[in-house]
Amino acid sequence: MSTDTVAQLAGVSKRLGAVQALDGVDLSIRRGEVYALLGPNGAGKTTAISTMLGLVAPDAGLARLFGADPADLAARRRIGVMLQTAKLPDTLTVGELLALVRSYYPEPRSVADVAALAGLSDLLDRRYGKLSGGQQRRAQFALALCGRPELLFLDEPTVGMDTQSREHFWKAVRDLVAHGCAVVLTTHYLEEAEALADRIGVLARGRLVAEGGIEAIRARVGQRQIRCITRLTEACVQAWPDVRAVERQGEWLHIFTAKPEPVLRELLWADTDVRELEVRRAGLAEALNEITREAA
Ligand SMILES: Nc1ncnc2c1ncn2[C@@H]1O[C@H](COP(=O)(O)OP(=O)(O)OP(=O)(O)O)[C@@H](O)[C@H]1O
């Protein structure tokens, strides 16, 4: 394992009941990077994170945290974790929870720093059980930061957060990463992956089917999208050669094609009043759909 690798799965397979949740997964998380693990529901993202954390024992292969077994206490002290299900005592205040978790670490982050990073400063006296869903997620994020982690595991961290909280959260993650923290992130909000991730791993049915930077993942899909305002009908455009799909959204027509040039020529010829014409590469969502469809 390279000294730059902070967490690793090597040839990991895991069966859960009748499901092959992970099937020969190899992945490495490097120091100071944000690695987003993406894929449809049930693809194996949570199982992959749980295996890195030593909460799930692999049937084959191995997991490493800072080169050690994930159960190793010294390695565990260097991580922070925010899982989808957090069971915290409802009756304690946020301040009391922070005091408790900070007491596990020899040199914890100060309450003021943690509260500022997680946007919690005005919630310290509130009981955890009385917080809204989004506020509870912020409290869980704060708890994950107490031990000054070098590696943070964030499993769908912004579910339930409003737009402002989510933006605050993204800024905090960027600050932490700028100071050398690595992050493993799962999310179904692709704009979150686009905003934060240095690298993306795509899981489908327990296999890592694509890995790379956002542009590299997008570039795997040759498809382009033409968007315009036109009086032409969907059926008319759909009949042209090279047109893969057509969708109308209000006054906009979206045309999907791998060969935009001949489609554009046809479009400009068929409707000389066409307006607001745009051509763009497929987005991350379309790329992920295509990659997971191919894998299936
Ligand atoms: N304890 C379990 N027993 C049986 N099957 C399980 C168990 N836990 C998970 N699974 C199955 O393993 C597969 C992978 O689940 P996992 O939770 O890792 O997916 P995920 O990618 O995190 O999904 P989501 O996006 O919905 O959170 C799913 O088919 C799930 O139903």
pLDDT in tens, 135-166: 999 999 999 999 999 999 999 999 888 899 89
- The mean of the pLDDT values for the chain is 92
Q: Are 161 and 184 in contact (CB under 8 A)?
A: no
pLDDT at 219 over 60: yes
pLDDT at 220: 75
Residue 44 CA, ligand 1 centroid: distance in Å = 6
Instruction: Write out the H or E segment, with its range, that includes residue 30.
Output: strand 19-30
Q: Are 45 and 203 in contact (CB under 8 A)?
A: yes
DSSP structure class, residue 77: T
Domain edges within the chain: 5-218, 222-295
Q: Are 255 and 265 in contact (CB under 8 A)?
A: no
Q: Are 135 and 166 in contact (CB under 8 A)?
A: no
Nearest CA to ligand 1 atom 29: 42
Taking the alpha carbons of 86, 12, 181, 70 in that order, is the dihedral positive or negative? positive
- How far apart (Å, rounded) are the C-alpha atoms in residues 267 and 253? 11
Identical fold at 5-218 and 222-295? Answer: no
pLDDT in tens, 17-32: 999 999 999 999 999 9
pLDDT at 284 over 90: no
Residue 55 CA, ligand 1 centroid: distance in Å = 14
Any idea which architecture 222-295 has in CATH?
2-Layer Sandwich (3.30)
Q: Is the CB of 46 within 6 Å of ligand 1?
A: yes
Residue 205 CA, ligand 1 centroid: distance in Å = 10
pLDDT at 2: 60
Partner residues linked to 197 by β-bridges: none
Q: What Cα–Cα distance (Å) separates residue 193 from each residue in 50, 53, 116, 156, 217?
A: 20, 21, 23, 11, 12
Structure tokens at 28: 């490495």
pLDDT at 285: 85
Residue 65 CA, ligand 1 centroid: distance in Å = 22
Q: Is the CB of 163 within 6 Å of ligand 1?
A: no
Residue 206 CA, ligand 1 centroid: distance in Å = 9
- How far apart (Å, rounded) are the C-alpha atoms in residues 49 and 18? 20
pLDDT at 290 over 90: no
CATH superfamily of 5-218: P-loop containing nucleotide triphosphate hydrolases (3.40.50.300)
- Ligand 1: residue of 14, 20, 22, 45 to mutate (most ligand atoms within 8 A of CB) is 45
Q: Is the CB of 39 within 6 Å of ligand 1?
A: yes
pTM greater than 0.90: no
Nearest CA to ligand 1 atom 1: 16
Q: Is 153 helix (H, G, I), strand (E, B) or coil?
A: strand
* Alpha helical stretches, state H, the chain: 45-52, 73-76, 94-102, 111-118, 133-145, 163-178, 190-196, 214-219, 234-238, 260-270, 284-295
Q: Are 58 and 27 in contact (CB under 8 A)?
A: no
Residue 62 CA, ligand 1 centroid: distance in Å = 19
Q: Is the CB of 51 within 6 Å of ligand 1?
A: no
Residue 46 CA, ligand 1 centroid: distance in Å = 7
Q: Are 29 and 8 in contact (CB under 8 A)?
A: yes
Amino acid at 287: A
